[in-house]
Structure 1
Amino acid sequence: MSPEFLLTTLLVVASPGTGVVVTLAAGLSGGWRRAVAAAFGCTLGIIPHMLAAITGLATLLSTSPLAFDILKIGGIAYLLWMAWTSLKDDGPLKIEAGDPAQEKTSGTLRVIVNAVALNLLNPKLPLFFVAFLPQFMDPEGPDAVGQLLVLSGIFMALTFAVFALYGIFAATLRDRLVRQPRIVVWLRRGFAAAFVGLGVKLAGTTV
């Protein structure tokens, strides 16, 4: 494993995107536990794309505009749905006074499911695995699948760590937001705009 792979992966993971927005929203609304749950969900959502890269499905996706567009439309629709729910009082950015540790398990599960779904419907991830990871594989290595699993595992570990840090940082601001309802309203609008922007960006993505 090269230092270049670690540095490049860290830059890719830390770049603002869907996962960052989701974990920030989770940390602000539900504290550090919900932020970690969101990071975990984003990481779980990577696994199907990793398996697709190993089995060759990702290659098929990269060469089939129709399959790519179907997945892209699903991703755009889900991002727009997240934008709409972000504006609602009982949406993912519902911030209430009290101890986040007392939140219901169903709320945490919803965060995980949303995070998994967002990554599952991201057509850029399978293309990333096909185009990015092979650059750091040893062409003379005896086990290509094993190399891909190791690189994917490192990518997932860094994804979880970076996203969790983003979310935990956001959670430290939660108590202040509880006392500032106007700021909460603008945060909801900001996150809604971010989800719409990500949807527009995804719409412009091509194979």
Structure 2
Amino acid sequence: MLLLDGIHDLPLFIAAGLLLNITPGADIALIAARSGAQGFRAGAAAALGVGAGCMLHAAAAALGLSALLAGSATAFDVIRWIGAAYLVWLGISMLRTKSTSGGDSAAVASVPPARFGRVFLQGFLTNALNPKVALFFLAFVPQFIAAGTPHKAQAFLVLGLIFNINGTLVNLGFAWGIAVLRARLAGGSGRCRWTLWLTRGVGALFVALGLRLGLAESPVR
């Protein structure tokens, strides 16, 4: 097929990509928190936002912008600090989640419902502001592109799209699973005390990830 010109070992790429997609990280944590707090539609919005951010990295890699980021310590640091600040801010907002008392005196999460557009944006920024995702595309994708092909940019985009579609399907499945668990544990009421700890736990994870990202050394120094 013309679209697959210059691409080799596609089944291996798909398998490796799926393994990477199920690896826990900030994206999965956000999807879990939103699905647990608001149900599948919110989790799906976060998953689609993550997918949009991932596609941005794939397009940037195809256009050579990621190579510029990888070669400039200043550019890498600016993006890294912005991404770290965003993760810490998002984490603190989740840690500030309040609890209320139900009829059985059990603490439940009182998470203000966020509009799906805002949840989508959170997913997008969580992924797009992580410069390590850009470096991942530069390191991983070229292994499946023939060195002599004249269609390297096209191959980058096609592989990025395949990786993104598979990742989005995995994330949507994960969002659905968390939403089903939420409904069962809440007895169909949509409220359950475990969502409070899930949201706060994800908040603590985001703060830790943000601090780790901000304190990490640039790989291009």
Q: TM-score range with shorter-chain normalisation?
A: 0.7 to 0.9
- Pair 1:140-2:151 in alignment: no
Are residue 18 (structure 1) and residue 26 (structure 2) matched? Answer: yes
Aligned counterpart for 1:188 among listed residues 177, 199, 207 = 199
1:110 and 1:142, CA in 2 relative to 1: closer, same or farther beyond 3 A? same
Q: Which of 27, 35, 49 is the aligned partner of 2:35?
A: 27
State the AA in 2 paired with 1:152. Answer: G
Structure 1 residue 10 displacement after superposition:
1.0
Distance 1:94 1:147, change over 3 A: farther
2:157 matched to which residue of 1? Answer: 149
Matches within 5 A, 1:60-139: 60-89=68-97, 94-95=110-111, 107-139=115-147
1:57 partner letter: L
Matched, 1:45 2:57: no
* 3-state SS, counterpart of residue 115 of structure 2: helix
Tell me the CA shift for residue 107 of structure 1.
0.9
- The offset of 1:47, in angstroms, is 2.5
The offset of 1:171, in angstroms, is 0.6
AA matched with 2:61: A
Following the alignment from structure 1 to structure 2, what is the Cα–Cα distance between the partners of residues 194 and 88? Answer: 14
Q: Identity of paired residues, percent?
A: 34
- Number of the residue aligned with 1:100: none
Match of 2:178 in 1: 170
User: In structure 1, how many angstroms separate the alpha carbons of the residues matched to 2:157 and 2:192?
Assistant: 46
Q: CA RMSD in A?
A: 2.0
Do 1:25 and 1:167's aligned partners in 2 also have CA atoms closer than 8 Å? no
Q: How far apart are the structure 2 equivalents of 1:22 and 1:74?
A: 18
Moved more, 128-137 or 140-149: 140-149
Q: CA offset at residue 59 of structure 1? A: 0.7
Paired position in structure 1 for 2:209: 198
Aligned length: 196
The counterpart of 1:4, out of the listed 2, 12, 26, is 12
- Deviation per CA, 1:29-58: give whole Å up to 9, x if none: 111111111111000112322222122111
Moved segments of 4+, more than 6 Å: none
TM-score, length of structure 1 as denominator length: 0.86
Aligned amino acid, residue 199 of structure 2: R
Amino acid at match of 2:206: F
Q: Which amino acid aligns with 2:198?
A: L
User: Which is further off, 5-14 or 66-75?
Assistant: 5-14
Q: If each structure's helix is expressed as a fraction of its own residues, which one has the higher value?
A: 1
Mapped partners of 2:169, 2:217: distance in 1 = 27
Q: Which entry has the higher C-alpha Rg, 1 or 2?
A: 2
8 A contact 2:83–2:126 mirrored in 1: yes
Whole-angstrom CA distance in 2 between matches of 1:190 and 1:18: 12
Letter paired with 1:37: A
TM-score, length basis structure 2: 0.81
Q: CA deviation at 1:78?
A: 0.5
Q: Which residue type is aligned with residue 209 of structure 2?
A: L
